[in-house]
Amino acid sequence: MERFLELNYPGQGTEREKLKLIILYVLLHGPDRDQVIAHARRWDINPHKAEQFMRGDVEFGFRWYSIEGTLTDCGAGPAVIEVAKKLFDDFSRSEPAQQTLPTREPDQPRADGDPGHYPGRPDEDPSGETATEPRPGRGLKPDPLTATTATELMTLMSAYRVWKGKASYRKMANAVGNRYAASTFSTLSNRPTLPSLDLVRAYIEGCGADQADLEIWTRAWQQIALTEPDQAH
């Protein structure tokens, strides 16, 4: 995990960015979207905030026990949890003190019987929606321009898929008119060489990318192809 962080944020990534990458990494190798939401509910994260969690945006309104529990339920091991806890503690020290909430055993029902709402949380209103939006500029999405090798680019492509909601590979294939089979997308990260630009763009487009994102991923592919011309296929 530490090596993974070094590859994506070589000595300059913030604690927030690194924690986000850990969350995306765990979800990439974990359950599907509905299961993540179910796990998050168990740890006092309502569905609205679960969407934030799946984007790795946990810098505002989240408590460590909720993050830890959800990551663990999604398959994170002790070593990953340890790194995530240190990063969370490091960036939390610079935040204003937040109201301390009562904790509960994870399997106990909440007082109002609603699994998506925890009474008294300062970041929720009675409807279960978030009362305060995350501050702008926080929680950067995976940046393909940080990749310097084909392997790093494909790792970030997988992270981008998670950040966009982890669509099924079949849905991604349908989104691009079945130019590529779902199996091609699902095995992309196992390729030993840089995939073609068209395949990269199709994968990112299938995730739901807009034109601006497609252009950024194109630039990322080009800069790697220029440095590794024999690896592009």
- What does the pLDDT look like over 4-51, one tens digit per residue? 555 555 455 677 778 888 888 888 777 888 888 888 888 888 888 888
Q: Do 16 and 130 share a structural domain?
A: yes
- Domain boundary (136, 154, 169) is at 136
Which CATH number characterizes residue 199's domain? 1.10.260
CA–CA gap between residue 21 and residue 27 (Å, rounded): 10
Q: Do 116 and 194 share a structural domain?
A: no
Give the pLDDT confidence score for residue 178 in this predicted structure: 93
Contact 123, 160 (CB under 8 A): no
Q: Taking the complete model, does pTM exceed 0.95, yes or no? A: no
The domain in which residue 16 lies consists of: 1-136
Q: Which residues of the chain have pLDDT under 50?
A: 10, 96-139
- Domain boundary (119, 136, 153) is at 136
- Domain boundary (113, 136, 159) is at 136
